[in-house]
Chain A
Amino acid sequence: MSKNILVMLEQREGRILPASYQLFTPARKLAQALGGQVVACLVGDAVSALTGAVGAYQPQTIYTVEHPELKFYRAGAYAAAACAVIDEAQPKGVLFATSFMGRDWAARTAARKRGALAIDCTELVPDGEDLIASKTLYAGKVTAAFRLSSSRLQVATVRANVFSAPAPQSGASAPVQAVPVNFSPADTRVVVKQVVQTSSGIKDVTEADAIVAGGRALKNEEGFQKVIFPLAAALDGAVGASRAACDAGYQPHSRQVGLTGKVVTPKLYIACGIDGAIQHLAGMRGSKVIVAVNTKKEAPIFKVATYGCVADLFALVPLITEEVKKLHAH
């Protein structure tokens, strides 16, 4: 085993997930503490074109695994690819971004390697040869530090937007090493038939840096269209909703934020007419900056908000949209 940290980059259709680049920040810190290097890995059917962009983050080596079976993400096949790179690179630790893909991919890879695993970490610090990985439990009500034993491969996924990506060095490049992969029958038995893009124009809550979310107070779908969507568009962000708003049919469940919806950690979360029930907070309290707009000063959403506006959302939010547009006009 080396002292290196392996960064697993997530790409779909040739686009690297922005949160993947953020992994270089904790990876560098860990590698430095261990006296090792950062290495990176790209997996897909054709990823060579992406090595230039990754090289700008100066990993010591970029491992690529290319195979037609890797065109679409499937946990088994991608775990096989990850394990092939782990066997080649012999890292001490492996980092993935927390995402639908990352949670899954990391778990299957760690299981295959009988490694030690922590999902959705907000802090990673070495303690001797062990890794202390912190994450929240019980919907954000507790923070847990897990000790990942040095006797195992240490695998962690890192929550988006906790770390900022380092600045890419233009002109920098890294050596590329192709790694062959073999699949077991179970790895390729499920077939991806179709991938339909769902975010027509407006981003998905799980991939936006800014989310504007609405609650029951919006009253109907039109309320979202008139008030929430324009601000989301002005911020190049996504639209989120409380369960009450989704259950009432104002927005599809794919936009629900919370315990039984999506857990999101954008840089900016604007909650409009959302009371802040514990189950909603479970999905968004990890956001960097939270703005709450609510007519009721006692609403629990203000307990987690960075900025609070006690106001009627129908009057205030369109004015916020105007102000944001003015900013961007300059």
Chain B
Amino acid sequence: MKILCVVKQVPDSNATVKVRADGKDIESAGVKLVVDPFDEFGVELAVQLREKGNPVSEIVAITVGDDKAGEALRTALAMGADRALHLNDAKFASSNELFTAYLMAQAVRKEGETFDLVVCGKQNIDLDSGATGAALAEFLDLPHVAAVQGFELTDGGRRFTARRRIEGAEEVLEGELPVVLTIDKGLVEARYPSLPNLMKAKKKPLKVFTAADIPGEEAGSAGTHVDRLTPPAPRPDCKFIEGEPAAMAKELVRLLREEAKVV
């Protein structure tokens, strides 16, 4: 069984994010970058499936991003992936989920690779879309299950059972591999790669794809572009309610009723 893990480097959730003067991107200087936490769950799941004795022959990590973003691949390799694919070209730089998914599908096709399991994060903490995994499944012509919180291989690794929570309900789904999953919180806790494993990761194979390898695709001709980024509109100042608890409660509910009109 071959598993493909999709990883992306994103600003740390604690980082201060500022819009660049031209409004087309964020300031990158001084922003700490990490592997997206949902993607870490995906790599962890793949590694755990192997550790539990499933017939996992290979775990491959893939990313679309610049040189720096390649660090996410090194982290995945240190967590237990065997090799990596890095789509690295200025022409690939885009915040368009469909374009990114299409590129990854093309790279997989070009390598003539077939994967039994493709795991993505439920969504990324930068674009906050949850679209890439679904689109990747579409471009690979595979079914997918999104926001998975429970996963088991059955029938000797030929089939699976997945559980997910949606609004007000839990769903149990079954099917045959191959399948694309997007992973929610709660399935696994990601490990910290150890120092020796970080060292070993440097020696694992990493293949780079450039625009020359995936001709005809560039961000400029994709369907969605950043028009402009702005700081979010500030919320109005907090109105503090004073007084003893009983008076405070009364006044709060009055404001919620008469001013905010939400109760």
Contacts and interface: CB of A to CB of B under 8 A. Distances in A.
A197 B169 CA distance: 4
Nearest to A140: B232
Interface in B217-241: 222-233, 235-236, 238-241
A1 interface: no
B98 A110 contact: yes
Contacts of A193: 161, 172-174
Contacts of A107: 97-98, 129-132, 134-135, 138
A186 B167 contact: no
Interface residues of B, number: 84
A114 B223 contact: yes
B256 A268 contact: yes
B145 interface: yes
Interface in B134-173: 134-135, 137-139, 141-147, 161, 164-173
B125 A195 contact: no
B26 interface: yes
Interface string B238-263: 11110001101110110111001011
Contact of A190 (B38, B125, B145, B170): B145
Contacts of B147: 100
B238 A292 contact: yes
Contacts of B233: 143
B129 A111 contact: no
B240 A310 contact: yes
B contact face: mostly helix, strand, loop, or mixed? mixed
> For the complex, would chain A's binding face be called helix, strand, loop or mixed by DSSP majority?
mixed
B170 A196 contact: yes
A109 B11 CA distance: 29
A3 interface: no
B53 interface: no
Interface string A65-96: 00000001011100100000000000000000
Interface in B160-192: 161, 164-176, 179, 185-186
A253 interface: yes
A14 to B, nearest CB: 14
Interface residues of A, number: 101
Interface string A204-220: 10110110000000000
Contacts of B98: 107, 110-111, 114-117
A320 interface: yes
Interface string A314-330: 01100110111001000
For the complex of A and B, the 8 pairs showing the least CB-CB separation, nearest first, are A116-B223, A319-B249, A107-B131, A107-B134, A111-B138, A190-B175, A323-B253, A111-B135
Interface of B: 11, 13-14, 16-17, 19, 26, 37-38, 95-98, 101-102, 123, 125-132, 134-135, 137-139, 141-147, 161, 164-176, 179, 185-186, 222-233, 235-236, 238-241, 245-246, 248-250, 252-253, 255-257, 260, 262-263
6 contacts: A75-B143, A103-B134, A138-B26, A190-B145, A196-B171, A253-B186
Interface of A: 12, 17, 72, 74-76, 79, 99-101, 103-104, 106-108, 110-112, 114-120, 132, 135-149, 151-152, 184, 186-187, 189-199, 203-204, 206-207, 209-210, 235, 253-254, 256, 259-261, 263, 267-268, 278-279, 282, 285, 288-292, 302-312, 315-316, 319-320, 322-324, 327
